[in-house]
Amino acid sequence: MTSVSEHLDIAPVPRTAAPGGVRLDAAELHASVSDPCLTAMTLLNDIAGRHPDAVSFAAGRPYEGFYEVAALSDYLSAFERHLVDDLGLGPEDVRRTFFQYGRTKGFIHHLITRHLASDERMTVDPESVLVTTGCQEAMVLVLRALCRDERDVVLAAYPSYVGFLGAARLVDVRVRPVAEGPGGIDLADLAEQIRRARADGLRPRACYVVPDFANPSGVSIAEDDRRRLVELAEREDILLLEDNPYSMFHGGEGRLPTLKSMDTGHRVVYFGSFAKTAFAGARVGYVIADQPMADGALFADELAKLKSMLTLNTSTVAQAVVGGFLLRNECSVERATVREAQVYRDNLRAVLTGLEKHFGEAGPLHGSGVSWNAPAGGMFVVVTLPFRADDALLTRSAERFGVLWTPMYHFYAGEGGSHQIRLSFSVLSPERIDVGIGRLAELVADRA
């Protein structure tokens, strides 16, 4: 893969510091600049960059085989027609919608609520939707708003999504880990961690969870546990931060209800993403924050105030493109991503088949101590190895065996995941997966 930068023909500007000129030291900058998570991701990217021919189970980006550049102009036209035909805007207001600073909360909120009604059976007040510059911005806004001072903390099921941990570091919010099992977040541990936080004089404000096919673990929360989780939040007086980027990519047996759809007490703040469904580059996501404020406004309105100091409105042209994508699919994202969902299902099967072939009961490496989980969907499988899976092993895996993966320990606060790796299969083909699992087997055989 090449990029714009590699094709640029610009003479480099000399990088010598001027005499007497400034030289900055990372140690003098905000601590988030030196976040270990960032360093880890940089290292992983470096290794990947040095081994472009390796089979990469490390890349987490969505499948790209169905993208067409011409679709972008088509989506813009579809959205323009919607403004004129469905909403009755005149030419001047259409121009303003596309070109001017706009409503901070966005202008595709009504299409998002239609999508949620159609795909997730959720009834959502459009005024509670804040369209954001990707779901990442939504996380930053919610964390910034919820945490007033250093006594406010949030909880998260660990291993946890690095984007959430990064967002927390950026706004100096402490995240306290909660255990996760094969069935998702451990509810007893959640209650215990809330108790401990309070005993430490802290205010646990919210707990972050990905109920469907979590990144990195691939696990999902069963329907009964979802209900118990919402009840626990109510009982303990905390919010749940539900992140749902993967629910469209279920194994074929349909989706479980979201926490938000069970939420009668406004306990759930819901993060939505179009990164894996429309396209990642658009940077369009959203948050549903229907919590009533004391003055009658919604939490979404408070978040919009913060957004007005961070990025103002989400890019109009990006919103219009995603709006057109929704309109072209009658606001059903499930319908829009039928082909991608099939790719992910086929790839998940290929990963599990490959693992069984080499490490299963009839496999040559049966008994070598390799085990794995079998998620019902999503983009990730976790493999447990009989030896440490650290950055040194990854380097060796890339150099000697031509296969890349992500060490799981990066997704834990401190301890945990030392012998585990995450296999991401979203951009591969079943054939490449078969080759890649074979190489992984060679690595295991070599170390065993």
148 versus 388: smaller Cβ distance to a second copy: 148
Question: Which among 105-113, 369-377, 390-398, 435-443 is the span making contact with a second copy, rule CB under 8 A?
Answer: 105-113
Question: Which residue's CB is nearer to a second copy, number 322 or number 389?
Answer: 322
Asked if 72 interacts with a second copy (CB under 8 A), we say yes
* Residue 308 binds a second copy, judged by CB under 8 A: yes
Q: Which of 57, 299, 401, 405 binds a second copy (CB under 8 A)?
A: 299
Q: How far is the CB of 246 from a second copy (least distance, A)?
A: 16
Distance CA(58)–CA(436), nearest Å, equals 11
Cβ neighbour number for residue 155 with a 10 Å cutoff: 26
Q: Is 413 in the site for a second copy (CB under 8 A)?
A: no
Rule CB under 8 A: is residue 423 a binding residue for a second copy? no
Q: Please tell me whether residue 7 binds a second copy under the rule CB under 8 A.
A: yes
Instruction: Decide: is 218 part of the binding site for a second copy (CB under 8 A).
Output: no
CB of 431 to a second copy, least distance (A): 18
Tell me how far apart the 2 most distant CA atoms of the chain are, in Å: 70
Q: Provide, rounded to whole angstroms, the least separation between the CB of residue 388 and a second copy.
A: 27
- In what side-by-side order are the strands of the sheet with 420-424? 371-372, 380-384, 420-424, 406-407
β-strand 129-132 against 285-288: which pairing, if any?
antiparallel
Q: Under rule CB under 8 A, which residues in 222-281 are in contact with a second copy? A: 234, 237, 239, 264-267, 275, 279-281
Sequence-distant (≥ 6) Cβ neighbours of residue 411 within 8 angstroms:
158, 159, 160, 161, 162, 216, 417, 422
Which residue's CB is nearer to a second copy, number 111 or number 383?
111
* Residue 99 binding a second copy, by CB under 8 A: yes
Q: Is 49 in the site for a second copy (CB under 8 A)?
A: no
Stretch that binds a second copy, among 125-133, 190-198, 243-251, 437-445 (CB under 8 A): 125-133
DSSP 351-375: HHHHHHHHHSTTSTTTTSS-EE---
Q: Which is nearer to a second copy, 253 or 295 (CB)?
A: 295
Which residues in 169-198 contact a second copy (CB under 8 A)?
A: 169-172
Bridge partners of 203?
152
Residue 38 in contact with a second copy, rule: CB under 8 A: yes
Distances in Å between the alpha carbon of 297 and those of 127, 268, 294?
10, 17, 7
Copy the structure tokens of residue 371: 């085990």
Contact 287, 141 (CB under 8 A): yes
Q: How far is the CB of 67 from a second copy (least distance, A)?
A: 4
By the rule CB under 8 A, 306 interacts with a second copy: yes
Beta strand pairing call for 380-384 and 174-181: unpaired
**166 vs 416 by CB, closer to a second copy:** 166
Q: Tokens for 235, please give them.
A: 């009982």
Residue choice 258, 261, 314, 397 for contact with a second copy (CB under 8 A): 314
**Residue 326: CA count within 13 A, CB half-sphere:** 27
Smallest CA-to-CA distance from 208 within 256, 262, 140 is with 140
Closer CB to a second copy, 220 or 316, in the complex = 316
How far, in Å, CA of 343 to CA of 208, rounded? 28
Is residue 61 part of the contact set for a second copy (CB under 8 A)?
A: yes
* Two tokens, residue 67: 């993208």
| 367-373 long-range contacts, CB within 8 A, separation 24+ | 368/444, 368/445, 368/448, 369/448, 370/444, 373/182, 373/217, 373/218, 373/219
Q: Which is nearer to a second copy, 140 or 433 (CB)?
A: 140
Residue closer to a second copy, measured from CB, 339 or 366 = 339
68 scored as a contact of a second copy (CB under 8 A): yes
Residue 159 to residues 58, 254, 319, 410: CA-CA distances in angstroms?
16, 25, 32, 8
Which of 369, 358, 183, 341 lies closest to 276, judged by CA?
341
How many residues contact a second copy, by CB under 8 A? 122
- Binds a second copy by CB under 8 A, chosen from 44, 112, 130, 136: 136
Q: Identify the residue among 50, 196, 305, 396 touching a second copy (CB under 8 A).
A: 305
Minimum gap (Å) between residue 71 Cβ and a second copy: 9
Window contacting a second copy (CB under 8 A); options: 127-135, 327-335, 402-410, 437-445: 127-135
For a second copy, the binding residues in 317-356 under the rule CB under 8 A are 317-318, 321
Say if CB 356 and CB 363 are below 8 A apart. Answer: yes
CA 150 to chain centre: 26
Q: How far is the CB of 419 from a second copy (least distance, A)?
A: 28
Stretch binding a second copy (CB under 8 A), from 79-87, 332-340, 385-393, 438-446: 79-87
